Structure 1
Amino acid sequence: MSKNNLFASFAIILLGFASCQSGNQPQAGKSPMPFPVQKIKESNVTTYKEYAANIEGVQNIEIRPKVDGYVSQIFVDEGQQVQKGQLLFKLSAETLNQQANAAKANIHVAEAKVVSSQVEVDKVKPLVKKNIISPVQLKTAESNLHAAKAQLIAAKAQYQNAKENLEYTIIKSPVDGIIGNIPFKVGSLVGRTENQPLTTVSNIKNVYAYFTLNEKQLLQFNRQLNGSSVNEKIKQLPEVELVLADGSLYDQKGKIETINGMVNPRTGSIRYRAIFPNPNNLLRSGISGKVKIPNRVKNIILLPQKSTFELQGKKFVYLVDKENKIKSKEVSIDLATDTHYIVSNGVESGQKFVLDGLIKLREGMEIIPQTENNTQSNAAFSKK
């Protein structure tokens, strides 16, 4: 046998041996694969429902002029914190000064007339007693005195009115708060008929969060609470939380204070008001957020969203039977959260389901279950 034939025969023997070795091993992919599984059990959770809210200070006072005049001085700036009684604006109103001076002069004229009338009465009285002159003259003199006194009262009232109008040119803050927008500048003509206020002072030591519920939500909300009156129901409500516009959670909790007594016929909604403390003035009037209302739910079934798959608009989960084979099962979802589903029907406590890796699974496939700790209980969720 030639050397080439010898090498060829030896190669054939090696290939046959390798083929036999390969045939003795099971084919890859047919043996069960490990998958994480978890046992279903009932849990107690706190769910949250979120409602869009508008934030307002407990007092938003529009500062408006009571008299017409030019803005001569502005003593504050937008966003400044002010105290009750602090000077805000000064108006220039020469007409009011003139009116006050004229009213004051009228008082002196009326006082002089009262004195003159009193002198006339005092002169006539003894003459009437001596029957030197007619009593009619005394009555006339007394009548003139009464008229003079009335004119003095009217003059003093006019002066007081002019003085108050003049004082209205000095505008002070009625409450502690934060200055809002100041649309007018020094020199602007303002008056009582102006649509825009000079500014707004917002008392934001506490703030109100206004939000609405539709009729269906209102009925569900009220059925969860005991009590024969609205006030009794409100007292049972838990503290609420506030989600700010940037998605962060406000560090102070609030309390629902009032529920409007009427449903808005145009929108079919009813207005709620919650109050939040604002010690650091973080919240300002006009901002928006979301009020989170907690609801403690007991003995419910939770499934991680990653453990479900969707088919024709329905949700399914893979259950694991005693033989470690999987079977898809449709589930009914009551509430969707960021990471979990609250399931009302389809699965029962004690059943096992595949936790992750669903894309690799097929109906009836056998797996190697790998148990993970169940971390469902006592969780808290927010409604999407």
Structure 2
Amino acid sequence: MKNKILYTIIALSSFLVIISCGENKDNAAAAQEAPPAPFPVTQLQIKTVTGFTEYPATIEGVVNSDVRAKTSGYIEKVYVDEGQKVRKGQVLFKLETQSLSQDAGAAKARINVAQVEVDKLIPLVEKNIISAVQLETAKANLAQAKANYSGVSANIGYATIKSPIDGYVGSINFREGTLISPSDARPLTTVSEIDQVYAFFSFNEAQYINHLQRSEGATKAERIKNSPDLSLILANGKMYSEKGRIQTSTGQVNQSTGTIKIRAAFDNPNEILTNGNSGRIRFPIEYKDAIVVPQTATFEQQGNVMIFKLGEDNKVETAILEIEGTVDNLYVVGSGLDVKDKIIISGVGKLRNGMVIAPQDTTFEEAIKPIATLFRN
């Protein structure tokens, strides 16, 4: 009886194994017969695109003239206010001149005394009563007295301090009653001409070399002349209305920072910009006849930017890209692709190297169109 039960169990087990194997074969056959998954692909095209790189910038007036005292004295009057527009020669400060006037009176008196002495000696020399040396000494004393008077008179003139240029008054560092002198470290104020302003920014060494190589010209001056127009983003985030141009560069790498200082000029007809402003230079970079791909078609692996391209028999294969630049949602490809290639533009996370797909052709313009960002309240 026991043997019959054992034989029955063995027979049943064998039957189930046979059925299971059959099912697995059927599933495998079904999997092999499943059609390839569809993925959108596009044929690469050559395009010319322009990207932008931003650099922090500081703004200065084309002319910034420090106003300093040429003589010592107490400030008696300040005639202007900070930010005021002034003309060349306009009085800005007046120093107290009472003591200088007293010095001028004394110097004038010494001139008179010396002149009397000269006048007295002239006839005596003519009559040979005294030697000519005494007269020459008196004349020297007269010249010295006149020089002293001229110096005091100049100081009186220096007490009236005028603007050296047309422009705008900056911070006034000293007020009425302050004793000032020519040796003061800080100027009385600074007058800035801002009809045009300079924007200073810096390239690192690689950026500077790239800029020179992209610009046309046989010399540095020609390449600077052929540089593209620049935009300026103001501190409030808005774009400045006027375009700027690079005028010059130091041409030398600062060993401390590894950068090269660049100077650009912007017209300032509405006087929006002033000395000390900050902003960001927006520098355009044109990539001519470049291969571009949408960033969404790429993925990163071990620090490399990679993409799937369509190979023979609709098999996908990976390619490592060398990225030359970024323009909006696109990568500018330096190497890794040929214009004859077709690439898979979406769903790359589901792909594996060597996988067969059903390619769905998409126009290149549609493939590189930015994806709209949706916001939900």
TM-score category of the 2 structures, normalised to the smaller one: 0.7 to 0.9
Paired position in structure 2 for 1:171: 161
Give, in whole Å, the separation in 2 of the partners of 1:231 and 1:332: 32
- 1:114 pairs with one of 118, 128, 131: 118
User: Partner letter of residue 336 of structure 1?
Assistant: T
- Deviation by residue 1:221-248 (Cα, 9 ceiling, x = unmatched): 3444565543343333333333333443
**Worse-matched range after superposition: 171-180 or 206-215:** 206-215
Q: Quote how far apart the aligned CAs of 1:265 are.
A: 3.1
**Worse-matched range after superposition: 242-251 or 276-285:** 242-251
Aligned pairs for 1:279-290 (under 5 A) are 279-290=269-280
Aligned pairs for 1:251-290 (under 5 A) are 251-290=241-280
Aligned pairs for 1:74-89 (under 5 A) are 74-89=78-93
Give, in whole Å, the separation in 2 of the partners of 1:34 and 1:42: 26
Contact 2:41 2:360 in 1 (8 A): yes
Give, in whole Å, the separation in 2 of the partners of 1:34 and 1:71: 85
Give, in whole Å, the separation in 1 of the partners of 2:112 and 2:279: 62
Aligned pairs for 1:144-163 (under 5 A) are 144-163=134-153
Q: Quote how far apart the aligned CAs of 1:305 are.
A: 2.1
Q: Within the alignment, does 1:104 sit opposite 2:75 as a pair?
A: no
User: Partner letter of residue 70 of structure 1?
Assistant: Y
Task: Work out the number of aligned pairs and report it.
Answer: 333
Q: Quote how far apart the aligned CAs of 1:63 are.
A: 1.3
Partner SS state of residue 210, structure 2: helix
Q: Within the alignment, does 1:230 sit opposite 2:220 as a pair?
A: yes
Q: Where does the alignment leave 5 or more consecutive residues of structure 2 unmatched?
A: 1-33, 369-377
Partner SS state of residue 374, structure 1: helix
Give, in whole Å, the separation in 2 of the partners of 1:169 and 1:265: 45
Contact 1:334 1:342 in 2 (8 A): yes
Give, in whole Å, the separation in 2 of the partners of 1:243 and 1:197: 31
Give, in whole Å, the separation in 2 of the partners of 1:61 and 1:288: 20
User: Partner letter of residue 57 of structure 2?
Assistant: A
Give, in whole Å, the separation in 1 of the partners of 2:228 and 2:203: 17
Partner SS state of residue 365, structure 2: coil
Give, in whole Å, the separation in 2 of the partners of 1:333 and 1:104: 81
Contact 2:45 2:364 in 1 (8 A): no
Give, in whole Å, the separation in 1 of the partners of 2:367 and 2:78: 60
Give, in whole Å, the separation in 2 of the partners of 1:319 and 1:227: 38
User: Partner letter of residue 150 of structure 2?
Assistant: Q
Over the matched positions of the two proteins, sequence identity in percent amounts to: 39
Give, in whole Å, the separation in 2 of the partners of 1:109 and 1:217: 74
Q: Quote how far apart the aligned CAs of 1:161 are.
A: 0.8
Q: Quote how far apart the aligned CAs of 1:333 are.
A: 1.6
CA shift in 2, pair 1:37/1:253, >3 Å: same
Give, in whole Å, the separation in 1 of the partners of 2:177 and 2:333: 67
- 1:374 pairs with one of 335, 359, 365: 365
Q: Within the alignment, does 1:64 sit opposite 2:54 as a pair?
A: no
Q: Quote how far apart the aligned CAs of 1:35 are.
A: 6.6
User: Partner letter of residue 371 of structure 1?
Assistant: T
Give, in whole Å, the separation in 2 of the partners of 1:321 and 1:175: 71
**Worse-matched range after superposition: 156-165 or 339-348:** 339-348
Give the aligned CA root-mean-square deviation in angstroms.
3.1
Give, in whole Å, the separation in 1 of the partners of 2:306 and 2:218: 43
Partner SS state of residue 325, structure 2: strand
Paired position in structure 2 for 1:208: 198
Give, in whole Å, the separation in 2 of the partners of 1:114 and 1:307: 101
Give, in whole Å, the separation in 2 of the partners of 1:376 and 1:59: 51
Paired position in structure 2 for 1:382: none
CA shift in 2, pair 1:182/1:267, >3 Å: same
Q: Quote how far apart the aligned CAs of 1:286 are.
A: 2.1
Give, in whole Å, the separation in 2 of the partners of 1:55 and 1:303: 37
Partner SS state of residue 118, structure 2: helix
Q: Quote how far apart the aligned CAs of 1:162 are.
A: 0.5
Paired position in structure 2 for 1:19: none
- 1:39 pairs with one of 40, 43, 46: 43
Contact 2:46 2:339 in 1 (8 A): yes
Contact 1:39 1:374 in 2 (8 A): no
User: Partner letter of residue 59 of structure 2?
Assistant: I
CA shift in 2, pair 1:322/1:219, >3 Å: closer
- Deviation by residue 1:156-187 (Cα, 9 ceiling, x = unmatched): 21111111111111111101111111122222
User: Partner letter of residue 118 of structure 2?
Assistant: V
CA shift in 2, pair 1:226/1:310, >3 Å: closer
TM-score, with structure 1 as normaliser? 0.75
Q: Where does the alignment leave 5 or more consecutive residues of structure 1 unmatched?
A: 1-29, 125-134, 378-384
Q: Within the alignment, does 1:243 sit opposite 2:247 as a pair?
A: no
Give, in whole Å, the separation in 1 of the partners of 2:230 and 2:337: 32
